[in-house]
Amino acid sequence: MNKNNALLFSVLVVALMAGCAGSREAADAPHPLAGAWAYTIDTPQGTFAGTITVAERDDMLTGTIASDQQPDQTVALEELTFDSETSKMHFKYDSGEYGVMIVDMTLQEDALAGLMTLTQFNAEVPIKASRKME
């Protein structure tokens, strides 16, 4: 192998190794929604607050929601999805007394904002959340 081919080969090997390292780091990075989020919901009856917790297991998102009034009573999130291209999160849950809630929010850095649909009342209310620092 002459000097020019050896130099070209070395540059290609370094570039390939750097690309592989970047891919592995991206694969090991936590999901952008993973963690605890402090939410507030503005309704005509006042502001309600609580925590949304999201985890990623085996490439699947799971989560729970709890109100500050009853923090020990968590409810599982259903149909939890995140579109990485649009940064949109979607989930629903059964609140019991108030029926099924459908939530659609958009992630911007460490904040989520969107609407919660209260299916029992056919109404929408604003919901926002910020990442809880641990």
Higher-pLDDT residue of 10, 115: 115
pLDDT at 13: 39
Q: Report the range out of 30-34, 42-46, 58-62, 73-77 with the highest average pLDDT.
A: 73-77
pLDDT at 2: 54
pLDDT band for position 127 (50/70/90)? very high
Arithmetic mean of pLDDT, 44-52: 93
Q: Which of 121, 91, 122 is nearest to 105 (CA)?
A: 91
Reply yes or no on whether the pLDDT at 7 is more than 50: no
If you count DSSP H runs as helices and E runs as strands, how many of each does the chain have, helices first? 1, 9
Q: Lowest-pLDDT range, 5-9, 49-53, 124-128?
A: 5-9
Q: Lowest-pLDDT range, 12-26, 55-69, 78-92, 113-127?
A: 12-26
Question: What is the helix (H) or strand (E) element at residue 22, kind and residue range?
Answer: helix 3-28
pTM of the entire structure? 0.76
Arithmetic mean of pLDDT, 116-120: 94
| Strands (E) located in 8-73 | 35-43, 46-57, 60-67
